[in-house]
């Protein structure tokens, strides 16, 4: 009974999530809107020219933003050279060392457009190490997302990279062509699917109203930090790799005339994301297996078969209270993650709440804001250079902070204490890829359990230079775990001044 | 019975291979011949001076070729800086993007001579990353070969690298000095032997007529991409590492007088590959174990014991038809490869035939042409820069092609479609080291099985923008698998214009 | 009975070690002494100012030494740029190629001071690759040591690195805060403890007279080759990471007033190593588990529980004779080392003795001299460039040598032959971290067993170009294994000229 009630609760929760995430991503900039409006009403442009014009608007705006950001940073003395001064900009208020965003936060302008058609787009975050050498440890990971209209079809492609999908909205029917069989899965919100490098994959958004939004973690297998799409079935756009072979060779390989082959590979010009008819969508999704996996009733959980795993369905959150809940897919449940040394979690922080300050012992967390607004604060070790003293320097910490909103990516390196705080009127939802997950432990720094409470009184006194009871007064007041009520609105107001 | 017949067939095939590969490698350049001729007839030169002179000829010719190659590339506008434009040269015929060789093909001039004596030589390909950063993923692998005369002895040496041997011709008797025992193996064509880093190894070519030719894959354990030979038993040439110690220390270590020790280490001056007498060869090979391994009758297959494994003996090809056969030694059969995450395969493509276009899902293939002539075509993703459009660029593929002949090395990165086509009058034989082999799948792109045939009709139509039956007409005509009849002679002729 | 006798012998040996290593480390420079003397007697300085002054003395002296070293090298033509000429300085005596120290030896001036208080200090060796690209293979390892006074308390801290401790002197009581429990261990000489990344750890030296000296091998998990300390419990010095959060956030997290929190985190100013009272020490060590582990009577050996392992207690040396003994903790005994692919050994070379020249097949050895004096000789492959000859060059070996004394670190790459020789009047004691230990084999080059004795007579004759009996006369005289009597004093005298 208890399990049933919980499931209902979770389903209720999810439906809220699903509805809210059906809103369109990005494209909120007024300047962009106006530019694109002009494109659409430009006389003499055909559909393709209009579409191309619109895309250029977006590129233009993104570049402009990036340029402005760099200028802002230069003026603040941080220097565009993020490589040189480890943390971009620096502001000091009341003697605090506060860094806005630093090398750990990525917004719209840090993504590059890999695909854009009438029906959808693929954006990939630039290499982490392009931003800062502090991210060298995750150099071989890339993050990106795919957005596609209702009923859009995404053409078959393989990558020289392992890719993990997380379905954030829409209902994709995904087909993987394996060595010896074809696997088709009807996925939905919360499904995680691992697509091994080289596997041809295609999909259709079988949802008729909701946009498809898939967040991807990409792990190149061939060239560290770089990957490419390889389109086989296709034509001129997406350009098929078959056309790279000479006609003589293709003719021999297919045992057909050159003309006939040429004709086949000349037709597709609509790009790699195209519109499918309702009937075509039904055809593609009809024989699919339902999304399997998710702890609880179904066995096996799908992990070993190469199928999907649902982060929410029939599963309990690892942590949950009035202020938020955390769902985790760990390698022991979903075997494919073990191979990738990866853990995936989803935090839903209630409006007005915050996460306990905490750190991961060895995993580095690559976080993607799925919905809501807020900000984070992270403690970053910073060797201040103004202490002089010939080579030795005093060790201190800097606050790195950043505003969170849909589409923002932020990285939390191992050992770095972090807290995320909601603002605005909705829950803050964050998807986390935790790489180097094996043996990782989350250490909470406040709340019912924390790293100080377990210490002997003598150790507390020696560490803080105050009587143990004064330490306890601070560390034993908060009785919640993992999710806490957030700072009051007024206090947040003070915060907003600099975030 | 069927198995016996097959074995006979294979043996027959092999004998052809062995005979044909006994021809001398390299040294076909007339200018080189003349230069060396002059050395040999130079008055006043003793044997060592003549030999040194001959070696200088070779170095001179190789450098000249390398210089000429760079100049050719510069003229074509590819720019010597292969690092900058990803693919060396670029030619456009009928709007095609074709690159000759690019960063993936290596010929004579890319090797460096590590050893050269009267009796043999060792050539090692330069670091892959010296040619292109696109090869960063295989940075820690090196490829090379050892060639030695009949009855030549190769002096004891250890390397700070794991080394895999493939015997391409000759009959080496190889001795490994392990921690607690000595292992001696009589090897022959097709034998694979793993020599763990640090293991002292020496060998003799017990064949009295055929040159020894061993292809090596080298995996440094200490300094990424770099390795060195360490000669213990030796003297002045090869210089023994014992001589790096001070005489006082050696004297204490050996409990002998300095003079006596000095005398011992002063004798050997003939280099690390020397001539052995017939009697010495017999002595060395007498107590050897026969080559073990090879699937079928003998158990265990040698894998776990650290012994050799024969790629052909008592084994069936993975793929075989009139147009070629493929033999594979995979980690499950030969345990030592598992450790190295390596697969070794040998393709024998019949004269006039070709391999099916195909790609490896995650392995990168380092190929060494053992015999025959031909060419390859590979589809390489190429982000063309002339599309403009502010950061976003259209994705397309470039054909990288290269001529194949004995001694050419070419690299096929994961995910890249490739086909190899014979030319000339002999079979084309290629040895492939597939690194990062775990979980690798070969995806054929044409033939009875291919990535398109399995797709639903709807998916074919959406992908190609033509009716499914038109797709099927192309993709279902070729009924062979893996090896096909090649393009007709006439068509090849057209090809040769640019290869 | 025999086992008991051995244990007694070992205990006796250890007591000598412990006593001798209680001497103060470093601080022997007379100039430094004088500088610090002036600080202590400076009028008008309070205790903190005096202490700060003393630290500056040390930094000044270290920098001066480093500067002088560079100048010396520049004068010798080695060029400060160690990166360019692979081996620092070069001297030629009687045609020998001898390099003093080269890129493999590290002394006081190569360490940086990370912590220094009245009660102790932490010194970390700079990144290996800062010295030479030849050390790229161990780029992600760092070495350091912690020294603390009797009864000193080392404040709680976690690192973004795995750390292995070796207790060289003193008696630390170490507490690890795990995810779900607290582990406290009373350690002593010879104890090895693995502290996984992110684990908060604190300790007290419960010895009332002996300084604590812990040697550390550090393996960063997040940013290759870099790691940082994260102090939670603390205040202004060590600065706690809690203070990096905004007061609003801390107030919400702890459910306490900002003032109260601020007060707590303002008290600690004494640094991360502070004096504890005798009573506090007793309190901290009372509930500790005794040091567990060490082969023999106790089961399980502690390895799997995450506890310590003693290299000496109840264990036999791997090699032992009158001239020295070697203790090894290999991964099969202490499971935590398996994870780290690490082997730890401790060589105690008797006064007047030497180790057999030998090499490791695949491990790279990072050695820390714990006590005694001596020197080493290592054979390093060196491609001499003056042979001309167009790209091909003759392969030879260079002797790299260096003086060994307390605190010196030297690196022995895989495959490189090395011998260590004592000088002075005490045993030479060396702690070795062998990284990349899996499958490693030690190959002795002289003594009863060596790589030459196993060879067939024919192979000896072909390798050395002399009759086999002459080879045997040299290689079969020394009957000892692993530890030999050293060169006579007179011969050492000759040596000292260049070391």
CB C138 within 8 A of CB C132: no
CB contact under 8 A, B244 and C391: no
Window 42-61 of B, Cβ < 8 Å to C: 52, 55-56, 59-60
State whether A330 and A215 are in the same domain: no
CA within 13 Å, CB half, B378? 27
B490 closest CA partner among A260, A245, A248: A248
Looking at chain A, which residue has its C-alpha nearest residue B363? A222
Residue B495 within a domain: yes
- Which chains have 3+ CB pairs within 8 A of B? A, C
Residues in A closer than 8 angstroms to C116, CB to CB, are: 392
Which distant-in-sequence residues (6+ apart) come within 8 Å of C123 by Cβ? C111, C112, C113, C114, C144, C145, C147
Residue A436 within a domain: yes
Which distant-in-sequence residues (6+ apart) come within 8 Å of C299 by Cβ? none
- Which chains have 3+ CB pairs within 8 A of A? B, C
**Residues across chain C:** 499
Q: Indicate the pLDDT class of residue A102, thresholds 50, 70 and 90.
A: confident
Lowest average pLDDT, out of A172-176, B116-120, B387-391, B416-420, goes to B387-391
Residue in the structure block whose two tokens are 């078969």? A305
Strand partners, A195: A163
Looking at chain C, which residue has its C-alpha nearest residue B203? C459
Residue A76 within a domain: no
Q: Which residue has the higher pLDDT, C286 or B70?
A: C286
CB nearest to C254's CB, from A364, A446, A458:
A446
Q: Identify the pLDDT of residue A84.
A: 30
CA distance B92 to B98: 6
Q: Which residue has the higher pLDDT, A109 or A30?
A: A109
CB A172 within 8 A of CB A206: yes
A449 closest CA partner among A315, A376, A357, A367: A357
CB nearest to C465's CB, from B179, B267, B284:
B267
CB-based contacts of A467-472 (< 8 A; 24+ apart in sequence): A470/C263, A470/C264, A471/C233, A471/C264
Residue A207, φ and ψ in degrees, nearest 5: -75, 135
Q: Any CB–CB contact under 8 A between C415 and chain B?
A: yes
State whether B35 and B154 are in the same domain: no
Query: In this predicted model, what pLDDT tens digit does every residue of A327-358 receive, in sequence order?
Result: 998 777 788 888 889 999 999 999 999 999 99
State whether C463 and C366 are in the same domain: yes
Residue A285, φ and ψ in degrees, nearest 5: -95, -10
Average pLDDT of the segment spanning A197-216? 98
Q: Alpha-carbon Rg of chain C, whole angstroms?
A: 25
Neighbour tally for A225: CB within 10 Å: 19
Terminal Cα-to-Cα distance of chain C (whole angstroms)? 45
State whether A325 and A310 are in the same domain: no
State whether A165 and A296 are in the same domain: yes
Q: Identify the pLDDT of residue C74.
A: 52
> Could you say which of C16, C48, C76 is where a domain stops?
C76
Average pLDDT of the segment spanning C207-233? 96
State whether C482 and C341 are in the same domain: yes
Q: Which domain holds residue A378?
A: 316-384+395-444+484-499
State whether A305 and A325 are in the same domain: no
Compute the mean pLDDT over every residue in chain B, rounded to the nearest whole number: 83
Residue B63, φ and ψ in degrees, nearest 5: -65, -40
Residue C114 within a domain: no
Q: Which residue has the higher pLDDT, C126 or A68?
A: C126
What are the Cα distances from residue B294, in Å, to B162, B334, B338?
A: 22, 9, 16
State whether A300 and A373 are in the same domain: no
Whether C211 shows a pLDDT value over 80: the answer reads yes
CATH of the domain at A426: 2.60.120.10
CB nearest to A245's CB, from B357, B392, B491:
B357
Looking at chain B, which residue has its C-alpha nearest residue C444? B179
> Could you say which of A280, A315, A350 is where a domain stops?
A315
Q: Identify the pLDDT of residue A401.
A: 94
Q: Which helix (H) or strand (E) holds B71?
A: helix B47-75
Which distant-in-sequence residues (6+ apart) come within 8 Å of B287 by Cβ? B184
Residue C243 within a domain: no
Which distant-in-sequence residues (6+ apart) come within 8 Å of A122 by Cβ? A113, A114, A115, A116, A144, A145, A146, A147, A273
Tell me: ipTM over 0.90.
Answer: no
For the ranges A102-111, B146-155, C97-106, C312-321, the maximum mean pLDDT occurs at B146-155
State whether A325 and A418 are in the same domain: yes
Q: Which residue has the higher pLDDT, B318 or A16?
A: B318
Residue in the structure block whose two tokens are 């050492």? C492
Q: Identify the pLDDT of residue C306.
A: 82
CB A309 within 8 A of CB A331: no
Q: Any CB–CB contact under 8 A between C402 and chain B?
A: no
Residue A328 within a domain: yes
Looking at chain B, which residue has its C-alpha nearest residue C474? B254
Which distant-in-sequence residues (6+ apart) come within 8 Å of A12 by Cβ? none
Size of interface A-B (CB pairs under 8 A): 225
Query: In this predicted model, what pLDDT tens digit does every residue of C10-60 receive, in sequence order?
Result: 443 343 333 333 333 444 566 677 777 777 777 777 776 777 677 667 666
CB A413 within 8 A of CB A419: no
Whether B24 shows a pLDDT value over 80: the answer reads no
Q: Number of structural domains, chain A? A: 2
Looking at chain C, which residue has its C-alpha nearest residue B249? C487
Q: Identify the pLDDT of residue B39.
A: 73
Lowest average pLDDT, out of A16-25, A159-168, C73-82, goes to A16-25
Q: Any CB–CB contact under 8 A between B439 and chain A?
A: yes
CB contact under 8 A, C414 and B198: yes
Residue A47 within a domain: no
CB nearest to C233's CB, from A415, A419, A463:
A463
Whether C384 shows a pLDDT value over 80: the answer reads no
Residues in A closer than 8 angstroms to B94, CB to CB, are: none
CB contact under 8 A, A159 and B415: yes
CA distance C184 to C241: 24
State whether A296 and A331 are in the same domain: no
CB nearest to A414's CB, from C114, C197, C234:
C197
Distance from CA of C458 to the nearest CA of B (A): 6
Residues in C closer than 8 angstroms to A461, CB to CB, are: 280
CB contact under 8 A, C474 and B254: yes
| Percent above pLDDT 70 for chain A | 76
- Alpha helices by DSSP H, listed for C255-318, are 258-264, 278-286
Complete DSSP assignment for B146-209: EEE-TTEEEEEEEESEEEEEEEEES-EEEEEE-SS-EEEEE--TTEEEEE-TT--EEEEE--SS
Window 190-249 of A, Cβ < 8 Å to B: 196-200, 202, 221-224, 228-235, 237-246, 248-249
What are the Cα distances from residue C145, in Å, to A53, B272, C122, C129, C185?
A: 62, 45, 6, 19, 19
CA B441-B447-B450 angle, to 5 degrees, is 45
State whether B423 and B477 are in the same domain: yes
CA distance B284 to B277: 11
Window 61-100 of B, Cβ < 8 Å to A: 97
> A343 is written with which tokens?
């853990």
Q: Identify the pLDDT of residue B3.
A: 47
What is residue A136's DSSP assignment? G
What are the Cα distances from residue C234, in Å, to A463, C155, C274, C278?
A: 5, 8, 12, 21
CA A356-A359-A361 angle, to 5 degrees, is 150
Compute the mean pLDDT over every residue in chain C, rounded to the nearest whole number: 83
Q: Which helix (H) or strand (E) holds C190?
A: none
Query: In this predicted model, what pLDDT tens digit does every residue of A59-82 receive, in sequence order?
Result: 667 666 666 665 655 554 433 333
CA B157 centroid distance within chain: 21
CB contact under 8 A, B55 and C443: no
CA distance B216 to B366: 11
> C467 is written with which tokens?
């009759």
Distance from CA of A224 to the nearest CA of C (A): 15
Residues in A closer than 8 angstroms to C260, CB to CB, are: 473-474
Residue C470 within a domain: yes
CA distance C190 to C431: 10
CB contact under 8 A, C392 and B232: no
CA distance C480 to C450: 11
Residue C366, φ and ψ in degrees, nearest 5: -105, 110
State whether C299 and C416 are in the same domain: no
> Could you say which of C42, C76, C110 is where a domain stops?
C76
Q: Identify the pLDDT of residue B27.
A: 41
> B24 is written with which tokens?
């001398």
Neighbour tally for B352: CB within 10 Å: 19
Residues in C closer than 8 angstroms to B59, CB to CB, are: 389-392
């Amino acid at each position: 009974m208890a399990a049933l009630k919980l499931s209902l609760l979770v389903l209720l929760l999810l439906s809220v999530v699903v509805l809210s995430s059906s809103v369109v991503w990005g494209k909120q900039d007024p300047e962009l809107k106006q530019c694109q409006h002009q494109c659409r009403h430009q006389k003499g442009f055909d559909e393709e020219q209009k579409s191309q014009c619109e895309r250029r608007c977006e590129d233009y705006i993104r570049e402009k933003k990036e340029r402005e950001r760099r200028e802002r940073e230069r003026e603040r003395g941080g220097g565009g050279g993020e490589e040189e001064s480890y943390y971009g900009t620096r502001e000091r208020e009341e003697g605090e060392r506060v860094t806005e965003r630093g090398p750990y936060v990525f917004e719209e302008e840090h993504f590059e457009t890999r695909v854009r058609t009438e029906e959808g787009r693929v954006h990939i975050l630039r290499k982490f190490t392009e931003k800062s050498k502090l991210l060298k440890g995750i150099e071989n990971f890339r993050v990106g997302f795919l957005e596609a209209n209702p009923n859009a079809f995404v053409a078959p492609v393989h990558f020289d990279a392992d890719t993990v999908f997380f379905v954030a909205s829409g209902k994709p029917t995904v087909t993987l062509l394996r060595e010896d069989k074809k696997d088709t899965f009807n996925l939905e919100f919360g499904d995680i699917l691992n697509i091994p490098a080289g596997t041809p994959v295609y999909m259709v958004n079988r949802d008729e109203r909701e946009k498809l939004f898939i967040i991807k973690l990409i792990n190149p297998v061939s060239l560290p930090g770089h990957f490419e799409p390889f389109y086989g079935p296709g034509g001129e756009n997406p350009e098929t790799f078959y056309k790279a072979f000479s006609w003589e060779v293709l003719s021999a390989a297919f045992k057909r005339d050159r003309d006939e082959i040429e004709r086949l590979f000349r037709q597709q010009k609509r790009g790699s994301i195209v519109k499918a008819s309702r009937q075509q969508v039904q055809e593609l999704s009809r024989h699919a297996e339902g999304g399997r996996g998710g702890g609880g009733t179904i066995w096996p959980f799908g992990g070993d078969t190469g199928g999907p795993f649902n982060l929410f369905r029939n599963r309990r959150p690892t942590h949950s209270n009035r202020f938020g809940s955390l769902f985790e897919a760990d390698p022991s449940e979903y075997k494919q993650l073990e191979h990738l040394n990866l853990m995936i979690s989803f935090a839903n922080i209630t409006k007005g709440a915050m996460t306990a300050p905490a750190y991961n012992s060895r995993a580095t967390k690559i976080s993607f804001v799925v919905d809501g607004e807020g900000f984070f604060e992270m403690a970053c070790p910073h060797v201040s250079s103004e202490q002089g003293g010939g080579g030795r320097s005093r060790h201190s910490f800097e606050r790195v902070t950043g505003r969170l909103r849909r589409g923002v990516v932020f990285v939390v390196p191992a050992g770095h204490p972090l807290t995320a705080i909601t603002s605005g009127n909705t829950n803050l939802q964050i998807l986390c890829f935790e790489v180097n997950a094996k043996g990782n432990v989350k250490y909470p720094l406040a709340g019912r359990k924390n790293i100080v409470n377990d210490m002997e009184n003598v150790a507390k006194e020696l560490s803080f230079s105050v009587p143990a009871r004064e330490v306890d007064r601070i560390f034993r007041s908060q009785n919640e775990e993992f999710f806490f009520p957030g700072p009051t609105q007024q206090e947040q107001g003070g915060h907003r001044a600099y975030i």
